[in-house]
Chains A and B, each alone.
Chain A
Amino acid sequence: MDLEQMSDNKSDATDTSATPGGFQATYSSIFRTRGAIVLFGLLVAGLLLALTAYKLDWSKVQLAFRTASWLPWLPFAIVTYMVGMLARGVRLKLLVQQEAQLSVLTASNIVAVGYATNNILPARLGEFARAGMLAERTGMPYLLALTITFLERLLDGIIILFFFVLSSLMIPTDEWMRQAASICAILFAGAMFVVGFITLSPQSAIGLTSNLTSWMGQKWHDRFIAFVSQINNGFKCLRDAKSALLVLFSSALVWLIESAFFMFIMPCFGMKPDLLKAIATMSFTNLGILVPSTPGYVGVYHAACQTALMAVSLGTGHTLDPNTAISYAVIVHFVFFVTVTIWGIIAMARYSFELGSAQALAWQAKSIEIKNMPETQDTFLPRVITTYPAVTEEIKKGMSPFWVELCQCFIPKEDILQDANAQREVMSDVSAFTLTEIESIPFRFLVLFKIGLFGFKSYVLLTTGTFLCNLPQEKRRRLVESWAFGKVALTRKFMKLIRSLTILAFYEHPLIREKFNEY
């Protein structure tokens, strides 16, 4: 996703309908539009393949394959890789949870379609196909899906960098690998800073972008602004601490499982399974495939994997034979390629998602729809720089029992309403209002409030041994009142917000007002 794509205002419409034409037409189309990059990728892959092959003793490679012990390690590796795909699904589900409901399996299928497309089509078209399928499965706008995919890949990059730096520091490796790790550490710190800055300070990011690019003229200034704005929009989910931690944790889990997959192939070739070495090999290999290459990363993947494995094998006392290392790389690549491609094709078949249509969707949808606003109100037609799409499927969060019970503690004990359904309706509305209002307070205070909420929940758990909702109503009320009206100013301040909003919403509720009119 580049600036041109983000702000190309030449495209009048985004026709995401599938274009028939099949495999051949797809390839012709790609070569027509992105021939240079595809050819460059082929060249790099060919060169690396040639260099790798030149140094190999093919008889030893054959020997390595003949003497490999496939069982039980290869099935372990395949299953582990598939578990990793499910973990990717979990992460995607988390990333889109504010916009859409997605099952883990569907999310995993979407990821698999992207990977499979990358294995079949060049120029990493799989990322666009994945975004297209995400949009199609969830009903969310393509642009949002593309931003989420971009965020997903960025998180992958950050976690891989982190793993690479960490593992390279913990195990003896070649000097070049240490140096590469140092560079990666700087890249990691830089990436974390940029992501943190854009996530936490979106307004400053736009202001800074505007200041830094104003000298470039309106066209490029606006393109950069559009780019940063879109990233801001996609990073929204990371502004909530809980979501951000879950996403980071799931990303780490994805790549740990991927490392385990690398580790299970090691014993096939007589190597001792070593997770740290597997992490280093996995991370370097995945950094390596950032270089343009063929569909499926043939050549680049093998060269990177072989080099990394040999570098991390230094500490074993003997240098790993390059022929064994390439055999290892071939098997790792084979498992990855075949498993995910089959999975992706099955998913495409299940969702009637043809290769041609995936390509068409990916290719045509890349240009973001930029058009003037419809003539509204006073026939004013400002020029649009970029558009943040509407979320089409709004997810209404169910009101948690905790909030209902917490708000209940501020309501008079006697039942103003006799009807249980009416009582429930009032409390549901009151707690929904209270929560919505609290979520509207400025970010930094919201963070403090959530810390307070965590403190309150912990206090309840520590003092009673259970959660608030499990306590008898009278005890629950006493606990809440001890915070809301007790001697500690801090707890009173924390509860004041909940108390005031609850009381306001309760007495303003039409059913309550109606009842009070009778007094």
Chain B
Amino acid sequence: MSINNNSLKVEALVIGSGAGGAVTAIELAQAGVNVVVLEEGGQYGLESYGQSSPYAMQLLYRNKGMTPVLGSVPIGFVEGRCLGGSTEVNSGFWHRLPPEFVLRWTKQFEIKDFSVDELKPHFDWAEQLLHVSQPQNIPKSTEVFKRGVEAMGWSAKVVSRAATGCVNTNSCAHGCPKGAKQGMTRNLIPLAREAGAKFITRAKAKLLLKSKGRVTGVLAEIKREDGSTDLVRIEAEQIFICAGATQTPSLLRRSGIKFHVGETFQIHPMLKVAALFDEEINAQDSVMPMVQVKEFWPDISLGGSFFTLGHLAMNLSENWLETRDLVKQYRKMATYYVAVRGTGSGSVRPARFGNDYSHLKYELSDVDVRHLSQGLARLATLLLYSGAKSVFPSVQSIAKIDSELDAVRWLDENLPRKGLSLTTVHAFSSCPMGEKQDKCAVDSYGKVFGFENLYINDASMLPDSPGINPQGTIMAIARRNITHFIAEKK
């Protein structure tokens, strides 16, 4: 790092400290590169985690949790904005990228050296650092779900988690107050710091400064403790943008880099369903259900959802006049989801007006609606088979489903688009990687086309929707790319 009279110059500047940014930072730092990481959110200790949803939304989430994905069916989207990014507020569910997708992406996007074997050491590395393991204590909400899966005879699995010593505080989405869930702040960021990486929190990259095929630095706003904000220039030899699928394309486009950037945004649309059982489930006192139905994967996944009194009420609120009294029976309720691998078209654009927002668009395809309808039919049937008295989908005008015959109706009929209340927590593919220059924004290792020192290393480079919780895939590919970069530079 050198400081001249006018600005600071670092060897590598990483923008973002989530699953992609933390991996990039640790690898660079351990390779002896002088690295600075800018994180837009703040750094919070465990004492700030595990609070109520309203508190967590305002502290740990982007736009206080208000980042809608617009389209004919608006979709609620949330992502973390704090040191560690979304890994601090996700479920910690862990998957390896299935071979089917490795092949599919290689074929469709012509990604070089992209195979299960190539990715294996990177998954191994991440799983070891994050203590990825099979959960030991299966909560009641998982047990009843499993019962339904067995009754249906479908394939399903208990999903591994990046967690160790989980004591079921049911706070995954609010930051784990026990430090059991292995967000990036638990292990990777401390290790990166030990190796010399510098993390600057409350630092928002505003604009990339370019000159003749190179990005020379960034303009960034850094909020200080006294509430003032400094606009700073940071010059860097290499720049890695790891700001996530919504922010990376916005920063690039705002800086005039638009080649296939932000045009292929993908999500996993999710439909929440509450179920009322005869027995006490006490989902509010345990971690979310951990079994996922894989029978209909990759198009449709069924699984368990985060549950609190407030979230239950919100899920019921589409038909509130009919369902509001149910909240009192919350001990006998749990919530589940249908997630589909999005096949619609989406985009990310920096806001032209107002503050520094990203405008997210996703147009639900007919196939998505079909899959959501079939998913609801299957999930409702499963839950009714598992002992649920009724299920309550977040669909306006469908207050409840009482019988299997009611449920299977949606195998053949489409849910009303206007009535759908969808959410998502998975976003990717806004700057796809690969050698196919008619659809990719970055090459097989994340280098932005047209720039010799600008790289992307986060969820935005995943070429397509993977149909699984993406943290593992993001980390493995990010490590693959950064080790390739380091090897090349050496």
A residues apposed to B, CB below 8 Å:
141, 200-204, 206-207, 210-211, 214, 218-219, 222, 225-226, 229, 239, 373-374, 376-392, 410, 412, 433, 436-438, 440-446, 481, 484-485, 489, 492-493, 496, 499-500, 503-510, 512-513, 516, 519
Q: Which of chain B's residues have a CB closer than 8 A to the CB of A516?
A: 309, 327-328, 330
- A141–B233 Cα distance when bound, in Å, is 23
Interface residues of B in 195-230 (CB under 8 A from A): 197-201, 206-207, 209-211, 219-222, 224-230
Question: Are A386 and B354 in touch, CB under 8 angstroms?
Answer: no
Q: Which of chain B's residues have a CB closer than 8 A to the CB of A492?
A: 396
CB-CB nearest 4 A-B residue pairs: A443-B354, A390-B227, A508-B310, A378-B198
> With A202-B355, A203-B350 in contact, do A504 and B64 touch (Cβ < 8 Å)?
no
**Chain A CB within 10 Å, residue with most, of B3, B66, B226:** B66
Q: Which of chain B's residues have a CB closer than 8 A to the CB of A390?
A: 224, 226-229
Question: Are B396 and A500 in touch, CB under 8 angstroms?
Answer: no
Question: Are A485 and B311 in touch, CB under 8 angstroms?
Answer: no
Q: Which of chain B's residues have a CB closer than 8 A to the CB of A382?
A: 7-8, 200, 220, 222, 230, 232-234
Check if B314 is an interface residue, CB within 8 A of chain A: yes
Q: Which of chain A's residues have a CB closer than 8 A to the CB of B187?
A: none
Nearest neighbor of A388 in chain B, beta-carbon distance: B229
Q: Which of chain A's residues have a CB closer than 8 A to the CB of B227?
A: 390-392
Q: Which of chain B's residues have a CB closer than 8 A to the CB of A509?
A: 52
Question: Are A504 and B313 in touch, CB under 8 angstroms?
Answer: yes
**Min CB gap B307→A, angstroms:** 12
Apart from A202-B354, A207-B255, 16 more pairs, CB < 8 Å = A141-B228, A206-B219, A214-B210, A226-B231, A374-B224, A382-B220, A383-B6, A410-B317, A412-B324, A412-B325, A442-B63, A443-B354, A489-B418, A499-B320, A508-B54, A508-B309
- A481–B319 Cα distance when bound, in Å, is 11
Contact of A503 among B232, B317, B328, B356 (CB under 8 A): B317
Nearest neighbor of A222 in chain B, beta-carbon distance: B233
What are some 30 contacts across the A-B interface (CB < 8 A)? A141-B228, A206-B207, A207-B207, A214-B209, A218-B6, A218-B233, A219-B6, A377-B43, A377-B200, A382-B200, A384-B231, A390-B229, A412-B324, A412-B327, A437-B57, A437-B64, A441-B66, A443-B357, A445-B68, A493-B74, A499-B317, A499-B320, A503-B320, A507-B310, A507-B313, A508-B54, A516-B328, A516-B330, A519-B328, A519-B331
Check if B312 is an interface residue, CB within 8 A of chain A: yes
Q: Which of chain A's residues have a CB closer than 8 A to the CB of B230?
A: 373, 382, 384-388
**Min CB gap A308→B, angstroms:** 39
**Min CB gap B271→A, angstroms:** 15
Nearest neighbor of A143 in chain B, beta-carbon distance: B228
Question: Are A387 and B359 in touch, CB under 8 angstroms?
Answer: no
Q: Which of chain B's residues have a CB closer than 8 A to the CB of A214?
A: 209-211
Q: Which of chain A's residues have a CB closer than 8 A to the CB of B258?
A: none
- A383–B421 Cα distance when bound, in Å, is 47
Nearest neighbor of A441 in chain B, beta-carbon distance: B66
- A516–B211 Cα distance when bound, in Å, is 61
- A504–B319 Cα distance when bound, in Å, is 15
Check if B370 is an interface residue, CB within 8 A of chain A: no
Q: Which of chain A's residues have a CB closer than 8 A to the CB of B3?
A: 381, 383
**Min CB gap B3→A, angstroms:** 7
- A4–B8 Cα distance when bound, in Å, is 22
> With A203-B351, A504-B311 in contact, do A383 and B52 touch (Cβ < 8 Å)?
no
Nearest neighbor of B201 in chain A, beta-carbon distance: A377
Q: Which of chain B's residues have a CB closer than 8 A to the CB of A200?
A: 353-354
> With A382-B8, A507-B327 in contact, do A500 and B219 touch (Cβ < 8 Å)?
no
Check if B144 is an interface residue, CB within 8 A of chain A: no
B residues apposed to A, CB below 8 Å:
3, 6-8, 36, 43, 52-54, 57-58, 63-68, 70, 74, 193, 197-201, 206-207, 209-211, 219-222, 224-234, 254-256, 308-314, 317, 319-321, 324-325, 327-328, 330-331, 350-357, 359, 396, 418, 421
Q: Which of chain A's residues have a CB closer than 8 A to the CB of B308?
A: 507-508
Question: Are B54 and A377 in touch, CB under 8 angstroms?
Answer: no
Q: Which of chain B's residues have a CB closer than 8 A to the CB of A385?
A: 219, 230-233
> With A218-B6, A504-B314 in contact, do A440 and B321 touch (Cβ < 8 Å)?
no
Nearest neighbor of A226 in chain B, beta-carbon distance: B231
Q: Which of chain A's residues have a CB closer than 8 A to the CB of B193?
A: 378
Contact of B198 among A206, A226, A379 (CB under 8 A): A379
Contact of B310 among A219, A440, A504 (CB under 8 A): A504
**Min CB gap A73→B, angstroms:** 48
**Min CB gap B34→A, angstroms:** 11
Question: Are A380 and B36 in touch, CB under 8 angstroms?
Answer: yes
Question: Are B396 and A201 in touch, CB under 8 angstroms?
Answer: no
**Min CB gap A436→B, angstroms:** 7
- A230–B254 Cα distance when bound, in Å, is 19
Question: Are A211 and B313 in touch, CB under 8 angstroms?
Answer: no
**Min CB gap B139→A, angstroms:** 18
Q: Which of chain A's residues have a CB closer than 8 A to the CB of B65?
A: 437, 440
Q: Which of chain A's residues have a CB closer than 8 A to the CB of B310?
A: 503-508
Question: Are B314 and A500 in touch, CB under 8 angstroms?
Answer: yes
**Min CB gap A440→B, angstroms:** 4
**Min CB gap B179→A, angstroms:** 20
**Min CB gap A77→B, angstroms:** 43
- A250–B54 Cα distance when bound, in Å, is 38
**Min CB gap B245→A, angstroms:** 17
Question: Are A378 and B58 in touch, CB under 8 angstroms?
Answer: no
Question: Are A444 and B353 in touch, CB under 8 angstroms?
Answer: yes
Question: Are A441 and B311 in touch, CB under 8 angstroms?
Answer: no
Nearest neighbor of B330 in chain A, beta-carbon distance: A516
**Min CB gap B210→A, angstroms:** 8
Nearest neighbor of A499 in chain B, beta-carbon distance: B317
> With A201-B352, A378-B200, A379-B198 in contact, do A386 and B313 touch (Cβ < 8 Å)?
no
Nearest neighbor of A200 in chain B, beta-carbon distance: B353
Contact of A218 among B7, B8, B331, B396 (CB under 8 A): B7
Q: Which of chain A's residues have a CB closer than 8 A to the CB of B319?
A: 485
Q: Which of chain A's residues have a CB closer than 8 A to the CB of B197?
A: 378
Q: Which of chain A's residues have a CB closer than 8 A to the CB of B67?
A: 442
Question: Are B357 and A506 in touch, CB under 8 angstroms?
Answer: no
- A384–B222 Cα distance when bound, in Å, is 9
- A382–B63 Cα distance when bound, in Å, is 26
Question: Are B321 and A203 in touch, CB under 8 angstroms?
Answer: no
Q: Which of chain A's residues have a CB closer than 8 A to the CB of B68?
A: 441-442, 445
Q: Which of chain B's residues have a CB closer than 8 A to the CB of A225?
A: 219, 231
Question: Are B199 and A504 in touch, CB under 8 angstroms?
Answer: no
- A440–B359 Cα distance when bound, in Å, is 13
Contact of B200 among A380, A445, A489, A499 (CB under 8 A): A380
- A225–B308 Cα distance when bound, in Å, is 46
Q: Which of chain B's residues have a CB closer than 8 A to the CB of A441?
A: 63, 66, 68
Q: Which of chain B's residues have a CB closer than 8 A to the CB of A141?
A: 228
- A437–B64 Cα distance when bound, in Å, is 6
**Min CB gap B237→A, angstroms:** 15
Question: Are B53 and A388 in touch, CB under 8 angstroms?
Answer: no
> With A442-B357, A445-B68, A519-B331 in contact, do A508 and B63 touch (Cβ < 8 Å)?
no
**Min CB gap A330→B, angstroms:** 48
Q: Which of chain A's residues have a CB closer than 8 A to the CB of B255?
A: 207
- A503–B314 Cα distance when bound, in Å, is 6
**Min CB gap A451→B, angstroms:** 15
Nearest neighbor of A371 in chain B, beta-carbon distance: B230
- A512–B284 Cα distance when bound, in Å, is 14
Question: Are B309 and A443 in touch, CB under 8 angstroms?
Answer: no
Nearest neighbor of A505 in chain B, beta-carbon distance: B54
- A416–B209 Cα distance when bound, in Å, is 57
- A385–B324 Cα distance when bound, in Å, is 54
Q: Which of chain B's residues have a CB closer than 8 A to the CB of A204?
A: 352
Q: Which of chain A's residues have a CB closer than 8 A to the CB of B199?
A: 377-378
Question: Are B200 and A436 in touch, CB under 8 angstroms?
Answer: no
- A447–B47 Cα distance when bound, in Å, is 37
Q: Which of chain B's residues have a CB closer than 8 A to the CB of A384?
A: 230-232
- A509–B350 Cα distance when bound, in Å, is 35
- A200–B352 Cα distance when bound, in Å, is 8
**Chain A CB within 10 Å, residue with most, of B63, B230, B319, B350:** B230
